[in-house]
A and B are shown apart, each in its own frame.
Chain A
Amino acid sequence: MRTVKAVGTVRAVGTVGATSAVWAVARAAVRRRKLQTGVIGVVVLVSTMTIVVALGLLDAASAPFDRAFAQQRGSQVTASFDAGRVSAAQLAATGHASGVTAVAGPFPEALATLDRTVVTHVPGPVTVVGRAGPGGSVDRVNLWAGRWAAGPGEVVFSSPPGILGEGTHAALGRQVVLSGVRFTVVGLASSVSESADAWVAPDRIAALHPESVQMLYRFAHAGTDAEVAADVRAVADAVPRGALTASESYLSLERRSESSPNAFVPFLMVFGILGLLVAVLIVGNVVSGAVVSGFRHIGMLKALGFTPNQVVAVYLVMVSAPALVGCALGVVLGDLTEQPLMEQLLGNGITGAYLADSVGLSAWVDIVALLGVPTLVLLAALAPSLRARGLPAARAVSAGSVQRGGRALRIQRALTGSRLPRSVSLGLGLPFARPGRSALTLAAVVLGVTTVTFSTGLAATVTAFGDAAEGGGAYQVVVNAGRADVGTTPPTHTDPQIQALLAALPGATQVTPSAYVPVRLAGAAQGLTLTAYRGTSSDLGTMVVRGRWFDGPGEVVVTPGFLNLHGLSVGDRLTLRTAGREERVTVVGESLSGDPDYLSTDWTTATALAPGVTGRQYLVKLAPGTSVDAYQRAVRAADPGLHPSAKETVNAASVTAVGSASVLTLLLGAVAALGVFNTVVLNTRERRRDLGVLKSIGMTPRQVTAMTVVSMAALGLVGGVVGVPLGVLAHALVLPLTGRGGGIDFPPSMRDVWHPAGLVLLVLSGVALAALGAFVPSRAAARLTIARVLHNE
């Protein structure tokens, strides 16, 4: 027993000593191989950053509505009941109807008339609900400014955060009149379920004469329209016949959110996938390369008495140390980059703002990155480490100076006989010496070029779209008539006088008044806005992709989102309603893009629905050469109640998209170039002797640089040839996805953005990417001290 114990003690001491030796050798390797340590750290950092941004974007882009809806425990069915035909007990009983899992209400509901603009709400009908607070089991409203309405005369308006409009916080404290009753705005809140336009305390809604009661439901099964319809029937069956007057499914809200003009989600997904692939490839290449380049060192360790497992441990520690630091920093930097990017990209449009409000940084993304990247690093290091583990010490020591495979030699031989300068032909043969490493590098370059190509196509399309969305410079000045209800000075002139005044000012060639009329579509609960133009409007730059611009009363031009949302197409007829009036109109055209709740029509149609409607905005065309600033000064001088502004020529959403795509492209390009950099560093290290030989027989530093750069530029060229078609394909596949969403239907002129010269340049971008990554280490190779290299054999 004593002997056994003694042996055990020796083993334990040996293990402790071995652990210490492993740690000491690994630490020394990390310190000594500063360049390799730095490359691993930087590559893992940038890759982790890319992964965090890419996964975050994928997460946000994949189901923004679902995420926001889940966070707020949104109402799957928002139901209105006739208050006169149903009792509180009967409403409470609906909570036990088949399939109901959660219920909120009853909340008294009134349709009131708002007298002035409050954030996104324009004067007209608004739905006001009496509710005690923003919380509850269903529809947990996000009260993001002020407080909830509690006392008499207090109201909370719905408003998405981030919609600046007239200034959200300026709305707090504003006096408004709802159906003749004065209220003070005390809070702003957002509901992804869009359960109300405004909320008051339940005991204060009586003043608005509520005629209906709102109930909010969640169900066990509500994934499809059919299931929701069955759920609604179950609720309707629990109350007297006809008591349920209206219901809205969250599925229609979801479709509305998808049809909002947020064209960037599919693009983000492509960037996300590309980012993930590039990062994984490069980390694998860098880490496995670091282990392979250390084979000789591994042999020495074995010769010293390190066991195979200890050798593996040394190498895993060696690559893990910088990788862990890079990973941690990458997660932090990725989070810092991701948040503003998502806010910018998802925050377009009103629906988008509601979603951006709810879409935050996902903890799972950070966790996946923090666990996944080190695991990836370990796996990438493990395969070659295990190979090194099994190598006899003598072979490991001689690794790197053995003859290479037959294919590489055949290719090198074929190149030798070519007419190319020898430094070039030698460079072209280099990638074949390490085909596995070259393949990974090539794949990274291919994805880099695909990203650049896709991004270039995206920029061209989005810029063309932005130009079209801003009217292509059809008019130069927008003049808004001031309004006391939003706190701006009203004009002293009447609507016709303003039009005449603006037309008479120097430089004006055309003045088109426009107005907004709140309407409802017969058979739909959602409110719409009719944009009416008086006089010539067909030349104001709105691009019509199907049909034509309206040219008479009873005709409307709508957005792709509107058609998609309501299942209509050009040529269909629909009925628009305002209080006590209705008009039958024909859809004669579909515009390029726009809010699904906006329709364009002529002045006659608008006045038929809203007699007395007056111009609120005047679109002014100026003669060529007229100073926009001078015209604006003249407008202000003519009537202080007129507020001119230069027409935006740059579409903010397009700029955001192009800017974000550029950031992501730079990030991915940098990772791909780092991959090339690493490959050249490894190749140079492995071929130090060859470089020394070549220099000893007269290869100049420039020829060494050329040979090394050419070796990677060749990969870059192949990467370009493969990557450009992939990028073009991705662009072609993604554009229809945005169209399918209904937000934007890009016409052929915006889809066909490729030109032969541009494509050649894109192919060359692969060469540039590779040459860029190769240049610095190739210069280092050119400066290699020959004497030291050759005499170290």
Chain B
Amino acid sequence: MRLEDVRKEYGDATALDGVSLEIRSGEAVAVMGPSGCGKSTLLNMVAGLDRPSSGRVVVHGDDLTGLDETGLALFRRRRIGMVFQFFNLLDDLSALDNVALAAQLTGTPARQARRRAQELLDELGIADRRNAYPAVLSGGERQRVAVARALMNRPALLLADEPTGALDSHAGEQVMDLLLDLNQIGQTLLLVTHDRRLASRCANRVVDLADGRVVGERSLERAG
């Protein structure tokens, strides 16, 4: 994944000011910085949820700046998995169906999608909660379901935006372990967080942002 001199402006405010960044396959990178430094904007650019005002974003060979809305949707579907701070599960669907949904959008038959979703929930240790709806799941369980959904289409890049931000410490630990495990089996990770523990536990490189600019970059020996 490569960001080349990416700028993003919202009216007079500059959210990203010439950010360049490269992430290689299998890496786990944490983007850190204070509130309002542009972390989430950067993540949105990589996920194709927002468009840069200038510069290029290239993910797995796809130049996102040249894609239309449908192209971006297909890109997200095939290349990206996203985990949000507030889970963003669909309240009307069970845990299993939330996970299966991502595959079904690609045209995978319902039965096959549910089988794969079941496997993922099993791997993530919440198979027994597959028929529960988000409203009755704990925060940690919801985030595990969200991670399972993000992994459903075997993404090239897993993006996580403050994945432990809305969890208690125990649930946060579980999610950290999960992300670490995923990276160790080869899943590329891009984390946005201001949680140093999460960064040191899961990432092997940290990029510091301030006022929309990359102000530092360092490699880490993972704590875990």
Most buried by B among A403, A419, A421, A429: A403
A416-B97, A433-B92 given as contacts; is B50 within 8 A of A793 (CB)? no
Task: Output the least CB separation between A420 and chain B (Å).
Answer: 9
A785 to B91, CA, bound (A): 20
Known A-B contacts A409-B133, A786-B49; A700 and B73 likewise in contact (beta carbons under 8 Å): yes
A787 touching B109 in the complex, CB below 8 Å, given contacts A403-B133, A412-B92, A422-B104? no
Q: How far is the CA of A418 from the CA of B113 in the complex (A)?
A: 12
Nearest CB of chain A from residue B40's CB, rounded to whole Å: 6
Chain A residues with Cβ below 8 Å from B158 are none
Are the CB atoms of B110 and A790 closer together than 8 Å?
A: no
Decide: A429 near B70, CB < 8 A? Known: A697-B102, A787-B49: no
Q: Are A693 and B153 in contact (CB under 8 A)?
A: no
- Measured between alpha carbons, how far is A404 from B94 in the docked complex, in Å? 12
Give the distance to chain B from A431, nearest Cβ to Cβ, in Å.
Answer: 12
A218 at the interface (CB under 8 A from B): no
Contact for A413 among B44, B49, B97, B107, CB less than 8 A: B97
User: Do residues B84 and A404 form an inter-chain contact, with CB atoms below 8 A?
Assistant: no
What 1/0 mask marks residues of chain A from 433 to 467 whose CB sits below 8 Å from any chain B CB? 10000000000000000000000000000000000
Q: How far is the CB of A628 from chain B (nearest CB, A)?
A: 59
Task: Give A700's nearest chain B residue, CB to CB.
Answer: B73
B138 within 8 Å of A by Cβ?
no
Chain A 677-708 interface residues, beta-carbon cutoff 8 Å to B: 689-690, 692-703
Query: Complex formed: what's the CA distance from A408 to B92 in Å?
Result: 8
A484 at the interface (CB under 8 A from B): no
Q: With contacts A422-B105, A696-B47 known, is A701 near B70, CB below 8 A?
A: yes
Q: Is the C-beta of A523 less than 8 angstroms from some C-beta in chain B?
A: no
Check B133–A697 contact: CB distance below 8 A.
Answer: no
Q: Give chain A nearest CB distance to B99 CB in angstroms.
A: 10
If A418-B110, A787-B49 touch, whether A697 touches B92 (CB-CB below 8 Å) is no
In the complex, A151 Cα to B213 Cα: how many Å? 104
B106: contacting residue among A698, A787, A791, CB under 8 A: A698
Q: In the bound complex, how far is the Cα of B76 from the Cα of A701, in angstroms? A: 13
Contact A413 B94, CB 8 Å, known A692-B88, A696-B88, A702-B70: yes
A404-B92 CB under 8 A given contacts A419-B110, A703-B105: yes
**B190 at interface by CB-CB < 8 Å:** no
| Most chain A CB atoms below 10 A, which of B47, B74, B88, B111 | B88
Q: Would you call B90 an interface residue if the criterion is a C-beta within 8 Å of the partner chain's C-beta atoms?
A: yes
A418 and B107 CA atoms in complex are apart in Å by 12
Category for how many chain A residues contact B = 35 or more
Are A791 and B91 within 8 A (Cβ)?
Answer: no
Measured CA separation A696–B134 after assembly (Å): 18
How many angstroms between the C-alpha atoms of A558 and B94 in the bound complex? 73
User: B147 in the interface, Cβ–Cβ < 8 Å?
Assistant: no
A416/B49 contact (C-beta < 8 A), A422-B105, A696-B88, A697-B105 known: no
Tell me, in angstroms, the Cα distance from A428 to B82 when the chains sit together: 26
B134 and A403 within 8 A (CB): yes
Considering only CB atoms and an 8 Å cut-off, how many residues of chain B contact the other chain?
Answer: 43
A408 to chain B, nearest CB (A): 7
How many angstroms from the CA of A702 to the CA of B72 in the assembled complex? 12
Residue of B nearest to A695 (CB): B73
By secondary structure, the A interface counts as: helix
Q: Could you tell me the distance in whole angstroms from the C-beta of B101 to the nearest C-beta in chain A? A: 6
Instruction: Give the Cβ gap from A638 to chain B, nearest Cβ, in Å.
Output: 74
Select the residue from A408, A700, A783 with max chain B CB neighbours within 10 A: A700
Closest-CB distance, A559 to chain B (whole angstroms): 63
Query: What residues of A have a CB within 8 angstroms of the CB of B88 in the complex?
Result: 689, 692-693, 696, 790, 793
- A696–B49 CB distance below 8 A: yes
- Given the contacts A403-B134, A416-B110, A419-B110, A696 and B92 also touching, CB distance less than 8 Å: no
* Any B CB within 8 A of the CB of A417: yes
Residue from B92, B114, B135, B150 with most neighbouring chain A CB atoms (10 Å): B92
CB distance from B120 to the nearest CB of A (A): 14
Q: How far is the CA of A401 from the CA of B76 in the complex (A)?
A: 25
A625-B110 Cα distance, complex, nearest whole Å: 66
Question: Any chain A CB within 8 A of the CB of B19?
Answer: no
**Residues on A with beta carbons closer than 8 Å to the beta carbon of B90:** 690, 693-694
**Closest A residue, CB atoms, query B92:** A412
Contact among B50, B101, B135 for A697, CB-based, below 8 A:
B101
Whole-angstrom distance between the Cβ of A720 and the nearest chain B Cβ: 26
Task: Looking at the assembled complex, report how far the CB atom of A336 sits from the nearest CB atom of chain B, in whole angstroms.
Answer: 44
A317-354: contact bitstring with B at CB < 8 Å (1 yes, 0 no)? 00000000000000000000000000000000000000
Of A419, A697, A702, A785, the contact of B82 (CB 8 Å cutoff): A697
Q: How far is the CA of A680 from the CA of B224 in the complex (A)?
A: 49
B93 in the interface (beta carbon within 8 A):
yes
CA A700 to CA B69, docked complex, whole Å: 7
B86 touches A700 (CB 8 A): no
Do A696 and B82 touch (CB < 8 A)? Answer: yes
In the complex, A790→B89 CA distance in Å?
A: 11
Provide the residues of chain A in CB contact with B94, threshold 8 Å. Answer: 409, 413
Shortest CB–CB separation between residue B146 and chain A, in angstroms?
Answer: 10
- In the complex, chain B residues 57-89 whose Cβ is within 8 Å of any chain A Cβ: 69-70, 73-74, 76-78, 82, 84-86, 88-89
Q: Using Cβ atoms and an 8 Å threshold, which residues of chain A touch B105?
A: 422-423, 694, 697-699, 703
Interface digits, A533-577 against B, CB 8 Å rule (1 contact, 0 not)? 000000000000000000000000000000000000000000000
A782 vs B76: C-alpha distance when bound (angstroms) = 15
Interface pair A412/B93, CB less than 8 Å apart: yes
Do the beta carbons of B40 and A422 come within 8 Å of each other? no
| A4 contacts chain B at the CB level, 8 A cutoff | no
Q: Are B76 and A403 in contact (CB-based, < 8 A)?
A: no
Does A402 sit at the interface, judged by CB under 8 A?
Answer: yes
Question: CA–CA, A669 to B133, complex, Å?
Answer: 39
Residue of A nearest to B77 (CB): A698
Check if B6 is an interface residue, CB within 8 A of chain A.
no
- Find out whether the CB atom of A404 lies under 8 angstroms from the CB atom of B74: no
Given A401-B91, A689-B88, A702-B70, are A787 and B101 neighbors across the interface (CB < 8 Å)?
A: no
Evaluate whether A791 and B40 lie within 8 angstroms (CB atoms) in the complex, with A422-B101, A696-B47, A698-B105 already known: yes
Instruction: Assess whether A698 is in contact with B74, with CB atoms less than 8 Å apart.
Output: yes
Q: CA–CA, A421 to B49, complex, Å? A: 24
Q: Contact: B91 with A701, CB < 8 Å?
A: no
Q: Taking CB as reference atom, which chain B residue is nearest A408? A: B92
- Closest CB of chain A to B67's CB: distance in Å? 11
Beyond A418-B110, A790-B84, is A429–B92 a contact (Cβ under 8 Å)? yes
Cβ-closest chain B residue relative to A402:
B135
Q: Which 10 A-B pairs have the closest CB atoms?
A: A698-B77, A403-B135, A422-B104, A700-B73, A787-B44, A787-B49, A793-B86, A787-B50, A693-B88, A786-B49
In the assembled complex, 19 residue pairs joining A and B whose CB atoms fall closer than 8 Å, in A order, are: A409-B94, A413-B94, A418-B110, A421-B107, A422-B104, A433-B92, A690-B92, A693-B90, A694-B105, A695-B73, A696-B76, A697-B77, A698-B76, A699-B73, A701-B69, A703-B73, A787-B40, A787-B41, A793-B88
The chain B residues found within 8 Å of chain A, CB to CB, are 40-41, 44, 47, 49-50, 69-70, 73-74, 76-78, 82, 84-86, 88-94, 97, 100-102, 104-107, 109-111, 114, 133-136, 149-150, 153
* Extra contacts besides A695-B76, A787-B40 (11): CB < 8 Å: A404-B91, A412-B97, A416-B97, A417-B110, A695-B49, A695-B73, A696-B76, A696-B82, A699-B73, A786-B49, A787-B41
